[in-house]
Amino acid sequence: MWPTKKLAEGATCPHMNNRPIYWAESAAFIYLVVPLFLFFAFFIRVSIAIPSCALITACAYDIIRRTELRVPSSLPGRALILLAVSILWIWLSGGGGQLHQNGDWLKHYSVVNSLAYSHWPAVEARLGFEGAAIRYSIGWYLVPAFALKLTNLHAQNLMLSLWSVAGIFLFFSLLPGLIDKKNVVIIAPLVFITFGGADLFGTLITGYRHGPPHHIQWWAGWIEYSANTTSLFWVPQHAIPSWLGIALLMRQRLHPSLLPYLAPLFAAILLWSPFAAMGLMPFAVVLALQYGLRDIVLDWRSMCSLFFLAIPVASYLAAGTTTVPHGFIWTVPCTMDDGACFTWPAYFLFLVIEVATPLAILFLGIDSEKGFLLAAAISLCSIPLYKIGVTNDFAMRASIPAISVLSILSAKVLINGNRLTTVAILAMLVAALPTISGEVYRGFSPGPDIDEDTTFDAPWAERYIDQYFAPMPIWILRK
């Protein structure tokens, strides 16, 4: 493996293009860009698709060529443990079909069914038009839908679950290198799974709760920051790219082997989740301040990715979205009809309950990650000030990368810190247990099953249909 000596702040790495790449980094990059390749190959007009697919292929080939192939003797055992934890976490979310899934799976199944059982690009008679194309962040759905299309199976839960397990396994495989303890396998994933805010205290203060029983994260009434388990259970399409993206960015601080590929990586994540891409940007800025812009922005792969990947994806996602509510929070202060609205005292209370404790502990407990920690602090304090979406999706999803940084660094402090910081992290995790326990308990509690064959023709979709479809023609899509 390459040396792990820390580079000086602002230093450049002239030989980074020749550095070997850790296998999990390569696999995570390929995992994120495969849907992007499918999107351009089957959705986008041919004149754009050809150079775009060629660019994706060239970047993937170069990364695979540079991948470190030596396998430590302990890797198979660690991999089995991480795979088992990944499968268990997905199973608790409802993957596999034995446990109840939450209501968002009506949307997940409708998207994957629209993609799997229609010609690509997925055009249907919607919104009063003869042709309306699905227009959504479809990165998480494309590979399972492609597998369903090829096999003609009705195994939506299985395909989505297998795809999610792969992503979670890759993320967990990247964690040991982020906490400087490669021989510690299980602690970092467990800390990440249990990390969340002190929502029970917020609920006791405000007395407000929204959503299904035991879901206590909407205590503020106007905003929510989701625990990691909540994000996976409800919005894996946003959570998985956020986690893989932040893990790859954090590895670049000491091992800058992927800097020229950050632009195609962000283009891929944009298709998975625009909110994830926005939430990851402050951490890319940290790397730019450390290494400069030459390899991150001015490299030919970055310039080509902007024109051939990012702009087409952004054009697709922006089609027909002018009606989405957005603005500074004081211009649209209310989210729930029966909940409290934004006020400055409510803003500061939210920050105290959700992020003040981990930020304080981490600023006192670590020395080497202050850049990413500061970026996380600025993000988490700034995100509540802007609102996008009826239920403030921007706050819930764009915050995932920053919360991931707090989770990863909490694991690092727990393992490497002194007794005081270790006890503080454990107390913080205990305070988050009611949130996590409620999400897990929901799967075992009585409730209706979500039909895997659900489509946008169901009654639930009437008020949401314009969030998922846009009238044709959309200039970027092939006819």
- pLDDT tens readout for residues 222-270: 999 999 999 999 999 999 999 999 999 999 988 888 999 999 999 999 9
Query: CA 269, CA 276: separation in Å to the nearest integer?
Result: 7
- pLDDT tens readout for residues 154-209: 899 999 999 999 999 999 999 988 887 666 778 999 999 999 999 999 999 998 98
Q: In this model, does residue 283 exceed pLDDT 50?
A: yes
Query: CA 79, CA 71: separation in Å to the nearest integer?
Result: 11
Residues 417, 240, 168, 41, CA torsion sign: negative
Instruction: Report the DSSP beta bridge partners of residue 470.
Output: 133
Reported confidence tier of residue 4, pLDDT bands at 50, 70, 90: very low
Burial 324-336 (b: 16+ CB within 10 A, else e): eeeeebeebeebb
Residue type, 64: I
Reported confidence tier of residue 300, pLDDT bands at 50, 70, 90: confident
Reported confidence tier of residue 98, pLDDT bands at 50, 70, 90: confident
Query: CA 403, CA 380: separation in Å to the nearest integer?
Result: 8
- pLDDT tens readout for residues 303-362: 999 999 999 999 999 887 666 778 999 999 998 888 899 999 999 999 999 999 999 999
Q: In this model, does residue 152 exceed pLDDT 50?
A: yes
What is the C-alpha R_g of the chain? 22
Other Cβ atoms less than 10 A from the Cβ of 382: the count is 12
Query: CA 107, CA 92: separation in Å to the nearest integer?
Result: 19
pTM: 0.93
Q: In this model, does residue 15 exceed pLDDT 70?
A: no
Q: In this model, does residue 9 exceed pLDDT 90?
A: no
Domain boundaries, the chain: 16-70+121-450+461-471
Query: CA 463, CA 204: separation in Å to the nearest integer?
Result: 32
Query: CA 326, CA 337: separation in Å to the nearest integer?
Result: 17
Q: Residue for token digits 């993937």?
A: 60
Pairing of strands 469-471, 326-328: unpaired
Kindly provide the residue ranges of all beta strands, DSSP E only, lying in 357-444, ordered along the sequence: 386-388
Cβ contact 196:228 at 8 Å: yes
Query: CA 412, CA 362: separation in Å to the nearest integer?
Result: 9
Instruction: Show the tokens assigned to 347.
Output: 């803003």
pLDDT of residue 47: 94
Which residue in 59, 475, 476 sits closest to 304, CA to CA? 59
